[in-house]
Chains A and B, each alone.
Chain A
Amino acid sequence: MKTITAAICIAAKDLKSYFRDRTGMLLGFLLPIILVSVFGLTMSWVFGSEGGMPKSTLWVVDEDQTEKSEFFITQLRSADMIVVRPKPDDEARSQEDLRQEIADGEVHHVLVLSRGFEAAVAAGKTPELIMLRDPGREMEDQVTRISIMQAFMATSEGKMWPQALAGMMDKMGLDDQGVDQIMGLSKGIQATISAFVQSSGGEAEEPKTTEEAKEKSTEGGFDFGSFMTDMVPLTTEDIQPPERPKNLSYILSQNVAGVMVMMLMFGLMACSSMLILERESGALPRLLLAAIPRDSILLGKFFFAVVIGLIQLLILSAYGELVFEVGLFRDPITLIIISFTWVLAATSFGMLIASWAKTTKQAEGLSTILILIMAALGGCWFPIQQGSIPWGAKIVTHSTLTHWAMSTYQGMLWHGFTWSHPKMLVSLGVLWGFTILGSGVAVSFYRKRYVAG
């Protein structure tokens, strides 16, 4: 037989074997389709259907309660890049409440429209806008500022840009004479534009600078984004939870948690075919006929996977701490509790597949699909938690193991929660619930498939 004929013959044999395990084959073919769908869905939840930047949530406290402040908020709501809270029909939140929420890591940006907002805008003066923010949420900061700038310009009908520009130049360190020159020039341009569009001219007022510190460095070149957003007269106040390490950003904590959660699941994928391999090696009958309770075989596999999982998490945690200094070990008890809980839940998941699958192909196919889906939906890849996702999508994400595992790691890393915090207890409780349920179903499958009588 010639080489090509022999190769075709071998390929035909392999194809025949491959197609014979229909479940395994289906899982293999479905994998890319499912992944594309899940990717697309999660991306649209997180980044919006237009596929732009992730929508950031901005809480607004309207202390002015006037038509102008309401108009400003309406303008904010129409911005594409942010979601404004509270919703129009929801109850307003107080500044103090929201400050606490920032301190707890629940909210990251709050815009306070102080009393006198309408009066200031009407008088062509710079209104007082206070931005309370979590300094770790840098990614959302720029998006929020751009949206505020757009709303601010629309509210002031474009008449306040000379003051804003002068104020921004002042912040950047321009001397008073220069600021006055910019102001004069800007007013001239403003008057020309006003005359051109036959609109009422804005009365010139003395510019007001924001209270923001002047030490902001202008080194490092010109940043157009900052240049534009700095024109908004925002007084920024950083609120930081005391326990959080300085160099820990939200994205970094999300990445660290995501990698820990996902990699553990990949590491444990091997356990999904353990029973099948034991059977294929011929050793399983000898184990089943030994003088031991037969459930101990499954339990032994469970213990093995738990030990391997704990070692994996320990190595990942140590490496993460060494390289990124994210403060993983600042609460060792909480780290141990959540890691142990997550290993148990993930192992139960592995055993469930191990006891269900009939072939290695089925076990590996199903576990790959489920791990990748859960990683995407649970927020391991994208910061799905920060997006404003529909309630149906919330149900889907909350039904994944990874979501609850991410909640525990994010809770510890970002929010600084200890294991006994009510939110942590809920997440840990869900994971324990799955461990019990998953193990129970796994035992039931195992008894049916492997144990006689």
Chain B
Amino acid sequence: MLQSRVLLDVKELRYSYGERVAVNGASFQIHRGEIFGFLGPNGAGKTTTISCLSGLLGDWKGELLFDGNTFSPSKNIDDRKRLGTVPQELALYEDLTAKENLTFFGRLNALRGSELEQAVQHALQIAELTDRENSRVKEFSGGMKRRLNLAAGTLHKPDLLLLDEPTAGVDPQSRNHIFEALLNLKKNGQTLLYTTHYMEEAEKLCDRIAIINEGEVCGVGTPHELASRAGNADANLEEIFLQLTGRKLRDQ
């Protein structure tokens, strides 16, 4: 049976923090093997959407289909296994070594024995930290920590890797390394959902992009499709973004 092109189908996703509506009927599809960019101004609902998809928030409304099946990672451990997450914060233990961190997170994702050992070595290669595997994380630079943070999310070879601004606060060299790592993952068939503020990153990395504004998805497509829809095929992503979301400051 042929696999569907759609890996994750998000339909009419809604989430409120009390009276305040954070996500208001967002709908989009993530295709298998692509890097899907998720853009939006501050407070637009990006992190809330990612939290609903990853299972950090559970009482959302709408429908999530993963491979055509109902998806509820907040309640279902098997659904969580299909996801890898790279949170914006450095989700690492500073007193543990790089290898100990990866081994710990690998175990939590059901890896054991030689499979775990291989996954850890592979993750260390992705992070280019093989020679520092026994160094404590607190001795690492910000860029090294970011790379390790990314590698920890890929350990169990998830079907979908969720990345929430993985390049925040890193130098150009580390950022470039992360880009290369992500493109390598994509080359190996990994599907990625990439959230960022940097338009040039999204333009460079993402096959398709969703722009979210005030809790609603106001545009989905390739950068070229978005530009065409905006009525200016030559516009860059930043111009499209400002056209779709407006120029008013959102986090005042």
Interface residues of A, Cβ cutoff 8 Å to B: 281-283, 285-293, 452-453
Asked whether, in the complex, the Cβ of B91 is within 8 Å of the Cβ of A292, the reply is no
B198 within 8 A of A: no
CB B76 to nearest CB in A, in angstroms, measures 10
Select which of B75, B91, B108 is within 8 A of A282 by beta carbon: B91
- List residues 172-195 of chain B with CB under 8 A from any CB of chain A: none
Asked whether, in the complex, the Cβ of A292 is within 8 Å of the Cβ of B85, the reply is no
B197 within 8 A of A: no
- Collect the chain A residues with CB atoms within 8 Å of residue B83's CB: 289
Asked whether, in the complex, the Cβ of A290 is within 8 Å of the Cβ of B87, the reply is no
**Which size bracket describes the interface of B in this complex?**
20 to 34
Q: Which residue of A lies closest to B58 (CB)?
A: A453
In this complex, the member of A285, A288, A292 whose beta carbon has the largest number of chain B beta carbons within 10 angstroms is A285
A-B contact pairs, 15 of them (CB 8 A): A281-B90, A281-B93, A282-B89, A286-B87, A286-B91, A286-B153, A289-B54, A289-B80, A290-B109, A291-B78, A291-B156, A452-B56, A453-B55, A453-B58, A453-B59
Q: Which residue of A lies closest to B54 (CB)?
A: A289
Interface residues of B, Cβ cutoff 8 Å to A: 54-59, 72-75, 77-78, 80-81, 83, 85, 87-94, 105, 108-110, 152-153, 156
- Collect the chain A residues with CB atoms within 8 Å of residue B87's CB: 282, 285-286
Asked whether, in the complex, the Cβ of B57 is within 8 Å of the Cβ of A453, the reply is yes
Q: Which residue of A lies closest to B110 (CB)?
A: A291
Grouping DSSP codes into helix (H, G, I), strand (E, B) and loop, the A interface class, with mixed when no group exceeds half, is loop
Asked whether, in the complex, the Cβ of A286 is within 8 Å of the Cβ of B57, the reply is no
Asked whether, in the complex, the Cβ of A289 is within 8 Å of the Cβ of B152, the reply is no
Asked whether, in the complex, the Cβ of B57 is within 8 Å of the Cβ of A291, the reply is no
Count of inter-chain pairs, beta carbons less than 8 A: 64
- Collect the chain B residues with CB atoms within 8 Å of residue A289's CB: 54-56, 73, 80, 83, 85
CB A327 to nearest CB in B, in angstroms, measures 39
Asked whether, in the complex, the Cβ of A453 is within 8 Å of the Cβ of B74, the reply is yes
- Collect the chain B residues with CB atoms within 8 Å of residue A286's CB: 85, 87, 91, 105, 152-153
Asked whether, in the complex, the Cβ of A285 is within 8 Å of the Cβ of B57, the reply is no
Given A286-B91, A289-B54, 16 extra CB contacts under 8 A: A281-B91, A281-B94, A282-B87, A282-B90, A283-B91, A286-B153, A289-B55, A290-B108, A291-B77, A291-B78, A291-B81, A291-B110, A291-B156, A292-B108, A293-B77, A453-B58
Asked whether, in the complex, the Cβ of B56 is within 8 Å of the Cβ of A288, the reply is yes
- Collect the chain A residues with CB atoms within 8 Å of residue B89's CB: 281-282, 285
Q: Which residue of B lies closest to A293 (CB)?
A: B77
- Collect the chain A residues with CB atoms within 8 Å of residue B78's CB: 291
Cα separation A293 to B85 with both chains bound (whole Å):
17
Instruction: For the complex of A and B, list the 3 residue pairs with the smallest distance between their C-beta atoms, beginning with the closest.
Output: A453-B58, A282-B89, A453-B74
CB A414 to nearest CB in B, in angstroms, measures 42
Cα separation A281 to B152 with both chains bound (whole Å):
15
- Collect the chain B residues with CB atoms within 8 Å of residue A453's CB: 55, 57-59, 72, 74-75
Asked whether, in the complex, the Cβ of B108 is within 8 Å of the Cβ of A285, the reply is no
- Collect the chain B residues with CB atoms within 8 Å of residue A293's CB: 77
CB B36 to nearest CB in A, in angstroms, measures 18
Cα separation A291 to B105 with both chains bound (whole Å):
10
Asked whether, in the complex, the Cβ of A291 is within 8 Å of the Cβ of B93, the reply is no
CB A85 to nearest CB in B, in angstroms, measures 58
Cα separation A281 to B87 with both chains bound (whole Å):
11
CB B101 to nearest CB in A, in angstroms, measures 9
Q: Which residue of B lies closest to A297 (CB)?
A: B108
Q: Which residue of B lies closest to A453 (CB)?
A: B58
Cα separation A290 to B78 with both chains bound (whole Å):
10
Q: Which residue of A lies closest to B156 (CB)?
A: A291
Cα separation A298 to B186 with both chains bound (whole Å):
36
Q: Which residue of B lies closest to A450 (CB)?
A: B56
CB A453 to nearest CB in B, in angstroms, measures 2
Cα separation A289 to B89 with both chains bound (whole Å):
14
- Contact (A452, B59) CB under 8 Å given A287-B108, A290-B109, A291-B109: yes
Cα separation A453 to B85 with both chains bound (whole Å):
18
Cα separation A287 to B55 with both chains bound (whole Å):
12
Cα separation A293 to B110 with both chains bound (whole Å):
12
Cα separation A291 to B107 with both chains bound (whole Å):
9
Cα separation A289 to B163 with both chains bound (whole Å):
13
Select which of A285, A287, A292, A452 is within 8 A of B77 by beta carbon: A292
- Collect the chain A residues with CB atoms within 8 Å of residue B88's CB: 282
Cα separation A400 to B113 with both chains bound (whole Å):
47
- Collect the chain B residues with CB atoms within 8 Å of residue A282's CB: 87-92
